Amino acid sequence: MALYKVELRGYRVSTTSIPEEGGIYVVYRCSHDKENHRVFLKEMIYIGRNKNNIKQDIQEKEPDFKQKKQAEEEICYSFSIDTRDIDIKARALIFMQKPILNEESEKNNFGYTSSNFIIEGKNNLFKFKRFGITTKSKKDGRD
């Protein structure tokens, strides 16, 4: 089985410091302690990907994200700047984590061959950080 790694950086409460590069991003509801520069994650709400510019993708979808936050909460992000095998990595994260704003078809169908995954870095709230997905699919995820 193929092995894929995702290294997440973050957490950011503003899109200002998110790079204009391709990769995967994770969106959370959080509270923000501005004095101590800390975030407290509440819920993972979306996992996205863009092969060219995650910052632009986030900014376009941000109104949908903000509708999910409660009073006194912020939206924050973690991200991986790596477009290698981006589709299989993103689909695996969505399939295993099932964020509320992702499409049901992605949450319920991995769609690739059996693979193993390691999620490192800023991965709080991930239910699974090392996992394998076994499937009968013949689609290879290598880009």
For residues 3-7, average pLDDT: 97
pLDDT digits (tens, 9 = 90+) for 75-130: 999 999 999 999 999 999 999 999 999 999 999 999 999 999 999 999 999 999 99
Under the phi-then-psi rule, with left for phi > 0, alpha for psi from -120 to 50, and beta for the rest, what region is 59? alpha
Which residues, 6 or more positions from 59, have their beta carbon under 8 angstroms from its beta carbon?
15
The predicted pLDDT at position 60 comes to 97
Strand partners, 80: 24
For residues 58-65, average pLDDT: 96
Q: Quick one: 63 exposed, middle or buried, by C-beta within 10 A (0-12, 13-18, 19+)?
A: exposed
Percent of the chain exceeding pLDDT 90 equals 90
Res. 138: pLDDT tops 60: no
The predicted pLDDT at position 141 comes to 52
Q: State the average pLDDT for the chain.
A: 93
pTM over 0.85: yes
The predicted pLDDT at position 142 comes to 53
- Tell me how far apart the alpha carbons of residues 100 and 78 are, in angstroms, rounded to a whole number: 17
For residues 65-79, average pLDDT: 95
